[in-house]
Structure 1
Amino acid sequence: MRKSINGLSLIVLEEMEVAFKCERLFVFVSRCGKKLKLIYWDQTGFALWYKRLEKQRFKWPRNHEEEVILSNAAQLEQLLFGFDVFQKPHIYLQYQQIG
């Protein structure tokens, strides 16, 4: 993961076709899954946040070429703490009667 603010902002603008001056965070994870970068616009310029894990990996979908969306701050926090936010939840079962 060699790209910095300039390279990552170009990816967002050209490939994702998103205007940067909106209230969005863009998350990039390295191929090995140990490095994560967040880039966002904070009304005065671009800001870049970087985290590198020493022993584990971020849970990120493999072979995912399309845009991946984290819909809220709770999902981002869970991702940063090592949870797999992309795993499908259990199906809720509702029974009318038992036995």
Structure 2
Amino acid sequence: MKMFVEVPAIYLYSGHVDFRKSINGLLLIIEQDMAHSPFDEALFVFCNRHRDKVKALYWDKTGFCLWYKRLEQDFFRWPAASQKTLQLTEEQWYWLLAGVDLAKMRLHQPLNCRIAS
């Protein structure tokens, strides 16, 4: 089941955000800290200090939509990053919501094979 409209990009803010901020406060973070336009076809994702809440913001061509999730007994495994913005795939976004630690995931590396033996 999909929760959002299709977006070509998902940008995660690697720091924590004061969750008293609503749409206008998050728009400033998108423009000033993440160096993106909030009108891009993208989902912008934020987490609070305790990592038990997530907000996602996107522009749907008629207005801004704000999505909020609060965990009752656990926390999100928020990736640590040297840059303020990380780009996630849709698959990584759903893994993050499910509680997967993206930093510990090790996927098979693609091979560049030319001859089958």
Q: TM-score higher than 0.5 here?
A: yes
Q: Over alpha carbons, which structure has the higher Rg? A: 1
- Sort the Cα spacing of 1:57 and 1:22 in 2 relative to 1 into closer, same or farther, 3 A: same
Q: Deviations over 1:4-42 (max 9, x none)?
A: 111001110122221122111111011111000000111
Q: Runs of 4+ in structure 1 displaced over 4 angstroms?
A: 62-65
- Select the residue among 25, 28, 44 that pairs with 1:10: 28
Whole-Å Cα distance in 2 between the matches of residues 60 and 33 of structure 1? 7
Q: Which runs of 5+ in 2 are unaligned?
A: 1-18, 110-117
For residues 30 and 86 of structure 1, do their structure 2 counterparts lie closer, same or farther at Cα, with a shift above 3 Å needed? same
User: Which has the bigger relative contact order, CA under 8 A and spacing at least 6?
Assistant: 2
Task: Show the 5 A alignment for 1:27-66.
Answer: 27-62=45-80, 66=84
> 1:61 Cα shift?
2.5
| Greater percentage in strand | 2
**Cα RMSD between the aligned structures?**
2.0
Q: TM-score of the superposition, structure 1-length normalised?
A: 0.80
Q: Percent identity?
A: 44
TM superposition score normalised by structure 2: 0.69
